[in-house]
Structure 1
Amino acid sequence: MENTGPTIAVAGAGLRGSGYARRVRAAGRGRIVAVAEPDPARRARFAAEHGIPPERTFPGWREMAAAGRPADGVVITTQDAEHAEPAIAFAGLGCHILLEKPMATSEADALRVVEAVERAGVVLAVCHVLRYTPYTRTIRELIGAGRIGTPISVQHLEPVGWWHHAHSYVRGNWRREDGSGPMLMTKSCHDIDWLVHVMGEVPARVGSFGRLSHFRPENRPAGAAGRCADCPVEPSCPYSATRLYLSCLGDSEREVWPLGAVTDDRTEDGVLRALREGPYGRCVYACDNDVVDHQVVNMEFPSGATGVFTMTAFSAAAQRQTRIFGTAGCVEGDGVRISVRDFVTGELETFEPGGSLDGGSPGGGSPDGGAPLDGRHDHADDALIDAFTEALATGDPSQLSSGARESLASHRVVWAAERARSRGAVVELTPAAAPAGTPAVPADPAKGTVLP
């Protein structure tokens, strides 16, 4: 039976955009009717897969927008620097927007996006996929039911993984702040948003420390070549591109990601050719990267609760890990399982809600046997696009767990943390950063400034 429901266009037919489109088609609740993608081969594959006629395929989002309103909704999964402008343009055409994070690469542009969708009266959902997992829903339900009393503090860890960091943030598209944004935004705005979502309030004050410590020219081993494929020290290097990408061959998931970012040629010769010619074969100590490889963010919430977030490249690629400490109990989660300790009875109860904090199933999809990470969020991506499609079909945006202002608020926490890190100071957020319904700090003209 032919799919019915709202029409959806996709701007950016890469891994994420293609995944969302396949889910729309498989679920049968919407129709993919147009695509914008600068890569001709990728554009042709996408169009053929979804039966999109030539007149509905475009080399870029600008051409798609120039042709008029392309669909009821537009999924924007372009590169980070091209999130704000297409979102503003398609909102102006009356399209509802599903926007990959970050919503923009600057706070001013993020505000422009929010104002554009509010002016047009359309829905904006940012792809904060961690909100959509059973794991997250269970933690929120436990806190909401008072199982740990009042939350007083939270610890949250994102173990990026040594190979994943080298792939995406040293050799890959997110290696430079001027090309996409700081690491805290491009990778960890998921986590800051998740903490806001779970704690139920936006931080009032933030501080942060972090830097690029290891992936620097001065740490290059003696005798190392500029590329792994020709390097005499490659066999003993933890960040060997040759070892990583050749090990993906024969693994159907890892051939999609991370290998799909490197080459479409799934042969040993094809991989080695890409490593000798493309960016993913470079020595990690001889790249043009400048984003941090470790960072902490300290937070104080309006209620007085405190939090600390840690991101590190120097770990196994694993699920996020969280501890939430309350007045009557505490919660500990490893991204898959959740344990609750009751302070009255002393009993420990464990939940396995299904799925995972990163959205995939545990055990597979990474070189060290860890869980699939941000290349594919699987169940969470499916839940998000299902919610977006349902919101369009029913006209009920409550299907989505956050709106434009909520996403702007959590993004502002990230930008405040980056100001704190660069200045070595504590930064206070204005009440305007808080989404409706969350506690706000009392109005103060000094808010938003760096404290001495």
Structure 2
Amino acid sequence: MPADSTGPSVAVVGAGLRGSAYAARVPASGRGRVVAVAEPDPVRRERFAAEHGIPPERAFPGWRELVAAGAREASGRLADGVIIATQDAEHAEPAVLLAGQGYHILLEKPMATTEADAERVVAAVERAGTMLAVCHVLRYTPYTRLIRRLIGEGRIGTPISVQHLEPVGWWHHAHSYVRGNWRREDESGPMLMTKSVHDVDWLVHVMGELPSRVSSFGRLSHLRPENRPDGAADRCLDCPLEPGCAYSAKRLYLSCLGDPEREGWPLGAVTHDATEAGVLAALREGPYGRCVYACDNDVVDHQVVNMEFPSGATGTFTVTAFSPYAQRQTRIFGSAGCLEGDGVRISLRDFVTGELETFDTGSEHEAPDGRHDAADAALADAFVEALATGDPSPLSSDGRQSLDSHRVVWAAEHARRAGTVVDIASPPGGPARAVDTPARAAGGGSPHPPAKGTRR
């Protein structure tokens, strides 16, 4: 469906994989249009501008130029909304300045790399009176809506405990968190934030409350220099052990050729030249051809977070590199039943009848390999709807709610480093706001009141 030329306009800051995916949905929805882009990579910038019909004077090499161009407009901005999908360390500054110009913002997670910067973003949006949605895409799936409905209807009674697993995948971890842009905390942040803040946010969303205490354990255990096999070379192309190595860059990236989706990702991060010669040149010269045991990575390759909620419920979250690249897996144990899900399918055991009921939310949520294309589209649709109507209700969370979820991650990281249990402090200015419960989201009263003296 063609974009509505009178609908809301959107600028995009960062035309990589995430920014391009959200932007593609804006005109595809039939309600919005993309009118400007800021992207430092000239190849990506030109491709993006051509795809969206953006004139050269609205295709900028960086977000600062886009901000400056907006300041010259009578309205003070180039568009109604902006999608910010830069590298993590460049989320906060453009978000603060663009909020000040009156843009409504769709901001890729994490919202910032420090708590102080995240607070600055939220404060800037609140001063401007604009909308902010952080890309917690897991909230926007049929699977998530169904789990919340089942809990809200009392199908498992009172939730008592939850287990949630994010299986990153051995090759995905090597691509993004050993050789790639998220390998170092000083350049992006801890892996729990850069990869899994939306898993923590999802647990808050599903359980209906923020954790009150957290502890965490994890480290960089395997993908480090002391585990380098004898005889391994610095680069896969020079390594006699490469054919038998689980982390072979040559095997991974050459296998992407001929597959349009895999040429977009992960290969698109490695080279724009999707030929054998182009891939080999990139592996010879660039960071993605390095031995995984000879990189400068320092983020964890596995971590567990333990949570206690105000209601007395408990939760564990595990993220690991040492798995297939697969759907997230969740078990929620309640007083009258339990459910288990894999991102698409849910099985629910009723403790009264003993019956096992299964649900399938279908392929509209995620592809079997764990991608969340449809959830990205649903989030982008919600943002365009909010822009078109001026009503933020299609957006599942606001800036304050996202800040709360981020604070849980920072608390967990402090607990991991200090070897302690951290009480999650209330936000400045007062107690934590109540999080909407699944029962309320389902349109009814809570089937199980919170324990005395607790906040749901």
Partner of 1:104: 112
1:108: how far off?
Answer: 0.5
What displacement does 1:57 show?
A: 1.3
> 1:34 touches 1:57 (CA, 8 Å); kept in 2?
yes
Shift of residue 179, structure 1, vs aligned partner: 0.4
Cα distance in structure 2, aligned partners of 1:298 and 1:392: 38
Partner of 1:409: 404
Does the aligned pair in 1 maintain the 2:36–2:59 contact within 8 Å?
yes
Asked if structure 2 preserves the Cα contact closer than 8 Å seen for 1:430 and 1:441, the reply is no
Equivalent residue of 2:393, what SS? helix
* Aligned with 1:382 (options 377, 380, 384): 377
Q: Could you tell me which of 188, 195, 208 is aligned with 1:187?
A: 195
Q: 2:352 aligns with which of 332, 344, 350?
A: 344
Q: How far off is 1:42 after superposition? A: 1.2
- Equivalent in the alignment of 2:73: none
| Superposition pairs of residues 338-377 of structure 1, within 5 angstroms | 338-355=346-363, 359-362=365-368, 371-373=369-371, 377=372
Q: 1:84 aligns with which of 80, 92, 95?
A: 92
Report the Cα distance in structure 1 between the residues aligned to 2:211 and 2:144, rounded to whole angstroms: 19
Read off the aligned partner of 2:123 and give its amino acid letter: E
Match of 2:238 in 1: 230
Identity %: 77
Between the aligned partners of 1:333 and 1:21, the Cα distance in structure 2 is 30
Q: Where do 4+ consecutive residues of structure 1 move more than 6 Å?
A: 439-443
Which residue of 386, 389, 394 corresponds with 1:391? 386
Partner of 1:310: 318
Corresponding pairs, count: 430
2:227 aligned residue: 219
Q: What corresponds to 1:150 in structure 2?
A: 158
Structure 1: which amino acid aligns with 2:409?
V
In structure 2, list runs of 5 or more residues that go unmatched: 71-76, 438-449
Distance 1:61 1:188 in 2: 26
Shift of 1:431: 2.8
What TM-score, normalized by structure 2, do the two folds share?
A: 0.92
* Residue 449 (structure 1) aligns with: none
> Once the 2 structures are TM-superposed, how far is the Cα of residue 442 of structure 1 from its aligned partner?
12
Q: C-alpha distance in 1, partners of 2:432/2:190?
A: 22
Deviations 1:227-269 (A, max 9, x none): 0011000011100000101111111111111011111111111
Indicate if the aligned counterparts of 2:142 and 2:361 stay in contact, CA closer than 8 A: yes
For 2:362 and 2:140, the matched residues in 1 are separated by: 12
1:10 and 1:34 in contact (8 A); partners too: yes
The code of the aligned residue for 1:380 comes to A
> What amino acid is aligned across from residue 58 of structure 2 in structure 1?
R
Conservation of the 8 A alpha-carbon contact between 1:202 and 1:438: no
Contact 2:254 2:279 in 1 (8 A): yes
Distance 2:4 2:129 in 1: 27
Q: CA deviation at 1:3?
A: 2.2
Aligned residue runs from structure 1 range 164-183, under 5 A: 164-183=172-191
Aligned-residue offset at 1:436: 4.2
- 1:204 aligns with one of 205, 208, 212: 212
User: Kindly tell me: are residues 33 and 436 of structure 1, through their superposed partners in 2, closer, same or farther at Cα, counting changes over 3 Å?
Assistant: farther
Deviates more, 1:163-172 or 1:34-43: 34-43
* Cα offsets for 1:163-217 (capped at 9, x unmatched): 0000000000000000000000000111100000000000000000000000110
Q: Would the alpha carbon gap of residues 72 and 436 (structure 1) be closer, same or farther in structure 2, given more than 3 Å must change?
A: farther
CA distance in 1, matches of 2:232, 2:385: 53
Partner of 2:421: 426
Q: What's the Cα RMSD here? A: 1.6
Please tell me whether residue 113 in structure 1 is matched to residue 121 in structure 2: yes
For the residue of structure 2 that corresponds to 1:87, the secondary structure is helix
Alignment check: 8 A CA contact 1:391 1:397 kept: yes
Distance (Å, rounded) in 1 between the aligned partners of 2:409 and 2:451: 18
- Which residue is 1:447 aligned to? none
Q: Deviations over 1:51-82 (max 9, x none)?
A: 11111111111110111212100000000000
Q: 1:162 aligns with which of 157, 170, 175?
A: 170
Contact kept in structure 2, 1:405 and 1:435, CA below 8 Å: no
| Residue type of the alignment partner of 2:300 | V
Q: Is the 8 A contact 2:166 2:327 kept in 1?
A: yes
Residue 145 of structure 2 corresponds to which residue in structure 1?
137
CA distance in 1, matches of 2:3, 2:154: 46
Query: Secondary structure at 1:290's aligned position in 2?
Result: coil
